[in-house]
Amino acid sequence: MFTKILIANRGEIACRVIRTARKLGIATVAVYSEADKDARHVDMADEAVLIGPPPSKESYLVIPTIIDACRRTGAQAVHPGYGFLSENGEFARRLEDEGIIFIGPKAHSITAMGDKIASKRIAREAGVNTIPGYNDPIETTDQAIAIARSIGYPVMIKASAGGGGKGLRIAFNDGETDEGYRACRAEARNAFGDDRVFMEKFIEQPRHIEVQVLGDGHGNIVYLWERECSIQRRHQKVIEEAPSPFLDEATRLAMGEQAVALARAVDYQSAGTVEFVVGGNDRRFYFLEMNTRLQVEHPVTEMITGLDLVEQMIRVAAGEKLPFTQSQIRRDGWAIECRINAEDPFRGFLPSTGRLVRFLPPEDVSGSVRVDTGVYEGDEISMYYDSMIGKLITHAPERSQAITRMNDALNAFVIRGISSNIAFQSALIQHPRFVSGDFHTGLIAEEFPKGFHPSSLVHREPLLLAATAVYARRRYIHRAVRITGQLKGYERHVGDEWVVLMQGQKYALTLRLAPGGCDIVFQDQPHALRTNWELGDILLRGTWDDVPFCLQLERLGLRYRIVHWGTQVDAIVMTGRAAELLTLMPQKQPPDLSKFVLSPMPGLLAEVCVKVGQAVRAGETLAVIEAMKMQNTLKVESDRVVAEILAQPGDSLMVDQPIVRFT
């Protein structure tokens, strides 16, 4: 067994590997860029080595620098995590040449499966079902359009070296093929240094289901059941679960056997994933790709099998045999994972950067809630790296119980200082289609066609939110009137009658403080709110008519912001007379920004596609912004004429920074 390993990665996965290495008694070496000098994985490791400036192409992707760090620290092996160099065959070969063990598959396996064109040929030869398409590199847009027409729309354009939703577009016509082909090549070139793309038929209403495989150096290969990964946005996974609620046992067995056959065809050694697209009507499945690395969603497999996949990777790399056979792999209960990303739901889920002013993951009070993260309170989310800041995983004997535990955990997950997708995850977890298991990869696009805003959701128990707002207001006033030194004879009178203005509705409530909470009367109906909440706490836990709940509550001046079940409301609590006067006050109008194109996110301005004086039509591209390894295209919403270019390619943009002004 190794005595010291280096983790060639950052963030959550680096911390995850360090925890397992520590359990095995293995010393760890972290590598970090200048932007990550205070990062959590640096603090957790036994040693840390600076490897370069913030951009990943100058630090985490520089192979000679990583190898030099191994030499300097005496690391015997390298775990690549996922992303960065994890599927780089050249990196694995260079390590082998240096006598350093790569904790992952052999270089020839990475090369064979990392090239999506070659992998499909190998899959066909191994007897694995494959999707119709064109598997050679496409050289021009004209060729791409011709191929798309021959396959038949819709088609999927994919980068050969792509992954994580990068270098991937769906096209339904010639124009989308032209634009998607160019975008895929640009993203793949920037993210992977390989701009080759290919094309295949897009299966409509598909399920995305993947099979976890594990092989050793002694010819043993097993599959560890499947993961359902169909809840996606822009081709990036949002929620994963194991097992799949869609598969029957016959399909599950067939997929597992084909995954093992493919792994055996490339002499696979380590953990890997074979991804399939499954037809929603007939359960026919087709090979998509093989990820020759650990997956982000591996914890759900660990929860139902009881195995530590990182530990198995380390042991296999050290030459050990798998300690179990296929028949000994258990499938216990149900696990669900939500990816917690630094995204702004108010701006179409564009990346959100900044400092984590508050970061309070939910507590594991039941032994079935797990949080994998690479950040801590006070940390900074950088524009240079991926937007994922953590993963929330729940486990239970039944799927419905795992959903309930996830819902409770999301209610208790506090992030402040940056925007996150927690509210959106909560809305998805409660969505009837998710709860029923009747969904496919287009669920988010179909159910949230105009994006998501937590204040737009209708809470199924608005009275609970109104009651907690009144209770908080009453507690704050109760503290204020008890402060000493007030002018005698002018003490503030506090009544029991209150009005809550919330989401355009008015709630007239009567509140009386009671031991451990308060009693509420609304429309002559009594209710009981009981809680041990202290002033200033963000989390308010308690019971509402004897039913437990947990929500987030903050005082923002005269407003009380409440977050619960994915809904965010701002409640104003006042007397009845004050509520009447408020409705008579004129509302302030926002400034007119219609003549400007503003940056919707912090990032690098990669391209300005218009000139001063140019007439542009609705739908035309104005600019391209790069942030968190993704290209984001800004388009004009109506016919306009460009009056002024306010930013230049190469500029680092702030949120709402003007880029273009129209006449």
Three-class SS state of 629: coil
Three-class SS state of 414: strand
| Beta-ladder partners of 661 | 596, 644
Both tokens of residue 554? 């903050």
Angle of helix 116-125 relative to helix 107-114, nearest 10 degrees? 100
Q: What is the DSSP string of 376-389?
A: -TT-EE-TTS-SEE
Q: Which residues contact 367 (CB under 8 A, 6 or more apart)?
A: none
Edge to edge, what strands does the sheet with 652-653 contain?
A: 630-635, 621-627, 603-608, 652-653
DSSP E strand stretches across 86-165: 101-102, 133-134, 155-163
In angstroms, the CA 644 to CA 596 distance is: 10
CB 194 within 8 A of CB 184: no
Length of the chain, in residues: 663
3-class secondary structure per residue, 488-556: CCCCCCCCCEEEEEECCEEEEEEEEEECCEEEEEECCEEEEEEECCCCCCCEEEEEECCEEEEEEEEEE
Q: Which of 241, 289, 337, 554 is catalytic?
A: 289
In angstroms, the CA 180 to CA 198 distance is: 12
| Cα–Cα separations (whole angstroms), residue 51 to 60, 72, 287 | 7, 12, 37
> What letter does residue 452 receive in the DSSP assignment?
-
CB 562 within 8 A of CB 454: no
CB 356 within 8 A of CB 415: yes
289 in active site: yes
> What letter does residue 199 receive in the DSSP assignment?
E
DSSP E strand stretches across 384-488: 388-396, 414-416
CB 385 within 8 A of CB 326: no
In angstroms, the CA 119 to CA 105 distance is: 15
Q: Which of 503, 512, 411 is nearest to 466 (CA)?
A: 503
| Beta-ladder partners of 222 | 214
Peptide bond between residue 243 and the one before it cis (omega within 30 degrees of 0): yes
Q: Radius of gyration of the chain from Cα atoms? A: 27
In angstroms, the CA 194 to CA 160 distance is: 8
Three-class SS state of 159: strand
> What letter does residue 459 receive in the DSSP assignment?
P
CB 402 within 8 A of CB 369: no
Q: Which residues are catalytic?
A: 289
